[in-house]
Amino acid sequence: MSQIVPLLASATLALVYLLFLTDAAPSTLRSVVKTGAVALLAISALPVPLLALALGLSVLGDLALSRDGDRAFLAGVAAFALAHLVYVAVFLGLGGAPALAVKWQIGAGFGVATVSLVMARLLWPRSGPLRWPVLG
């Protein structure tokens, strides 16, 4: 029951961002709503420290990307890159019991790899001088 409130609040903030702030100009309100949704997930994940860390790094990435400019963009890309490394550790079970791969997980992994390759192909010509950080 104690996890329900932050999860509902997170979903509410995500919905508010989607419906009203996605295309809004950078502002304090936009940053708070954008980061608040994931921050609440990070708080809910505290019993799994590596997951909470990955989500916390994602919050920093969202915060940076909610601002204008190349410097903020690069900071966001760096935060998300670190978050993804921690997510890999979580999924490999490095934070506790080893994860057991079942057939659907292996298939899902191939699906994610395929989508990643397609996205890389789509983003490459559009990313300009930032293509390597974006793909990373």
* Residues 130, 70 contacting (CB under 8 angstroms): yes
Mean pLDDT over each residue of the chain, to the nearest integer: 86
Percent of the chain with pLDDT over 90: 43
Please tell me the distance from the alpha carbon of residue 75 to that of residue 40, in angstroms, as a whole number.
Answer: 21
DSSP secondary structure code for residue 129 in this structure = G
Residue range 106-125: average pLDDT? 83
**Residues 66-113 pLDDT 10s:** 888 889 988 998 999 999 999 888 887 765 555 555 677 777 778 888
pLDDT of the residue at 111: 85
pLDDT of the residue at 10: 94
Confidence of residue 17 (pLDDT cuts 50, 70, 90): very high
- The pLDDT of residue 1 is above 60: no
Q: What's this model's pTM, rounded to 2 decimal places? A: 0.73
Parse the chain into domains and list their residue ranges.
4-96, 100-136
Please tell me the distance from the alpha carbon of residue 116 to that of residue 102, in angstroms, as a whole number.
Answer: 21
- The pLDDT of residue 14 is above 90: yes
pLDDT of the residue at 70: 85
Please tell me the distance from the alpha carbon of residue 127 to that of residue 135, in angstroms, as a whole number.
Answer: 9
Report residue 57 as tokens.
Answer: 């790094």
